[in-house]
Amino acid sequence: MVDILSLVLHHDEQAVLCAVEMALEAGVPTKTHVLNLLHADFRNTGQGFQ
């Protein structure tokens, strides 16, 4: 859990929250999946989650 919370040091808080919600909805609540979602969105939009 601390690993997930510490992501806000490197990513926008709302982006982390959105990625966590998406990971929970997908049934894959892991730090790795949350990171993949954050990085995938940044690669696709160049901005991260809005």
7 occurs within a structural domain: yes
Contact 19, 38 (CB under 8 A): yes
Is 40 within the bounds of a domain? yes
CB 19 within 8 A of CB 49: yes
- The answer to whether residue 16 is domain-embedded is yes
Q: Residue 26's domain spans which residues?
A: 2-45
The whole-number pLDDT of residue 44 equals 59
Phi, psi at residue 29, to the nearest 5°? -85, 70
Residue bearing tokens 């730090």: 31
Q: Is 9 a domain residue?
A: yes
pLDDT value of residue 1: 79
Which amino acid is residue 32, in one-letter code?
A: T
Q: What is the pTM of this model?
A: 0.78
pLDDT at 30: 94
pLDDT in tens, the chain (50 residues): 789 999 999 988 999 999 999 999 999 999 999 999 998 876 556 555 55
